[in-house]
Structures are given as structure tokens and as C-alpha cells.
């Protein structure tokens, strides 16, 4: 189990490793750096797949994973089934008491090399497109360093997906530099059939590996 709330992995680990100087033959050998993936989970029924998605990401050698969840997302999975540290809104407020205390959404933003929002429901899509940040996850997104990749996986009812505002909001996220992992067509849990289902877990994991390689030279050991 990863460190619990308030014990975010050392931020030193996010800094690029420097090659030892040639004039320092006694320098200690470099420790292989792990890449940090932060998974954001929102209140779509596709959050049912969160334990499987996290487990598949952990199968990638060299990755360290943490999860940020909205409160409503917890309705669709058991937090005990998430095999890594799980952060939610209460953690941020409990952690900060005075000026010298850590700000969790900033620490998470610094720690992560890649942010994956899967699923991204219609409500959070609208918030992110508008710059609203009223929970831990949307605060992380609003503070995100746009030199690092952010991937999002829309997931919603077909009628919601087909509403004209959805395309505008997705385009806005792309204009921010975020990468869409498109939704797919299938029979949804509600019984409707059509576009709106979150991409398959295997597709998402493959895209994470592709983007990490493109942005950081990440290679599986």
C-alpha cells in the first residue's frame, strides 16, 4: 500500500536526475526513477472499472500510481478495492491547518508526471472547460502544469454526449492541450445504446504508455 493521506511520496522524486560529474568518481550510482501517474475518478458509472484500471497501470514496470476521487465517484466502487493511495476532498481540508501546512492539490500536481481522468463525467467536463475548481480533483486540474500530459476519458449517457455543449467543452479541453481518449459506442448500463461509454481499459493503458514515451522517453524495463 502506498503512503496514506498526508504522506505523499517525496517530491524530490519528481525532479530530473542529474548525471554525476566526471570529477566525482565516488558518486553513488543513480537510482532508476519511477514515473508518477495520478488517476482522477469522477461520478460516472464507468468508475466501476477504476480498480481494474489502476491494477493494469500497476502492471507497467516503472510506474507509481495514486488516485484522486470525487465524492460521487465512490458510489460506483469500493475504495478498499483501489490498491494504491486514494485521496478525496476531506484529505485536503484535514491536511491544511495553518500557513506552513501542505496544500494537497499543489503537492499532487507537483508529484505527478501524467494526469489521467478516467472516467470524466459530463458534470466535471463542464467544470474543467469553465475553469471551475470546487473539489480536490478539479483543483489539481486547474493548477496542472500544462508542460506535462493530461489525458481524459469522457463517459456519459448517449443523449448527454450528443448535446451540442459537449462537443464545445471537449474542444475546449483539447485547446488547453489535454489529450482525449475518445468514448466508444455500446449498450450502456442505463439501457441506451450509442456513443458515450468510456474507452476500454486496455485502450486507456496503451495510450498512457504511448504518451509517457512521447513526453519523457519512458521505457518499460
Please report whether residue 25 resides in a domain. Answer: no
Looking at the 3D structure of the chain, how many domains does it have? 1
Tell me the pLDDT band of 220, cut-offs 50, 70 and 90: low
Please report whether residue 190 resides in a domain. Answer: yes
| CATH number of the domain that residue 142 is part of | 3.40.50.1950
Tell me the residue range of the domain where 151 lies. Answer: 33-216
| Active-site entry in 24, 139, 153, 190 | 190
- Cα–Cα dist 204/210, whole Å: 10
CB 144 within 8 A of CB 128: no
Tell me the pLDDT band of 7, cut-offs 50, 70 and 90: very low
3-state secondary structure of 169: helix
Please report whether residue 64 resides in a domain. Answer: yes
- Cα–Cα dist 122/107, whole Å: 26
Please report whether residue 105 resides in a domain. Answer: yes
Please report whether residue 28 resides in a domain. Answer: no
Q: Which sign does the torsion angle of CA 93, 68, 152, 157 carry?
A: negative
Structure confidence by residue, pLDDT tens digits, 160-205: 999 999 999 999 999 999 999 999 998 777 777 889 999 999 999 9
Structure confidence by residue, pLDDT tens digits, 64-112: 999 999 999 999 999 999 999 999 999 988 887 777 778 999 999 999 9
Please report whether residue 193 resides in a domain. Answer: yes
Please report whether residue 26 resides in a domain. Answer: no
Closest CA to 34 of 69, 68, 84, 82: 84
Question: Residue 190 catalytic?
Answer: yes
Structure confidence by residue, pLDDT tens digits, 29-66: 444 678 999 999 999 999 999 999 999 999 999 999 99
Contacts of 118 (CB under 8 A, 6+ apart): 39, 40, 41, 46, 50, 53, 151, 152, 153, 155, 181, 198, 199, 204
Exposed / middle / buried, residue 130 (Cβ in 10 Å: 0-12, 13-18, 19+): exposed
pTM for the model: 0.84
Please report whether residue 21 resides in a domain. Answer: no
Parallel, antiparallel, or unpaired: how do β-strands 114-120 and 184-187 relate? unpaired
Q: What is the CA radius of gyration of the chain?
A: 18
Amino acid at each position: 500500500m502506498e503512503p496514506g493521506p498526508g504522506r505523499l511520496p517525496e517530491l524530490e522524486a519528481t525532479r530530473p536526475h542529474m548525471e554525476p560529474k566526471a570529477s566525482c568518481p565516488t558518486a553513488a550510482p543513480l537510482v532508476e526513477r519511477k514515473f508518477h501517474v495520478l488517476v482522477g475518478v469522477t461520478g460516472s458509472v464507468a468508475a466501476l472499472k477504476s480498480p481494474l484500471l489502476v491494477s493494469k497501470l500497476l502492471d507497467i514496470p516503472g510506474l507509481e500510481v495514486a488516485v484522486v476521487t470525487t465524492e460521487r465517484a465512490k458510489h460506483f466502487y469500493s475504495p478498499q478495492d483501489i490498491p494504491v493511495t486514494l485521496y478525496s476532498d476531506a484529505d485536503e481540508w484535514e491536511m491544511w491547518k495553518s500557513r506552513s501546512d501542505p496544500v494537497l492539490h499543489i503537492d499532487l500536481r507537483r508529484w505527478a508526471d501524467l494526469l489521467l481522468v478516467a472516467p470524466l463525467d459530463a458534470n466535471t467536463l463542464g467544470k474543467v472547460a469553465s475553469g471551475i475548481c470546487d473539489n480536490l480533483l478539479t483543483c489539481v486540474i486547474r493548477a496542472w502544469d500544462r508542460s506535462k500530459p493530461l489525458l481524459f476519458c469522457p463517459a456519459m449517457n448517449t443523449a448527454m454526449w450528443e448535446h451540442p455543449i459537449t462537443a464545445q467543452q471537449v474542444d475546449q479541453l483539447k485547446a488547453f492541450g489535454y489529450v482525449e481518449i475518445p468514448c466508444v459506442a455500446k449498450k450502456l448500463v442505463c439501457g441506451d445504446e450509442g456513443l458515450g461509454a468510456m474507452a476500454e481499459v486496455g485502450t486507456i493503458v496503451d495510450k498512457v504508455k504511448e504518451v509517457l514515451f512521447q513526453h519523457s522517453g519512458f521505457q518499460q524495463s
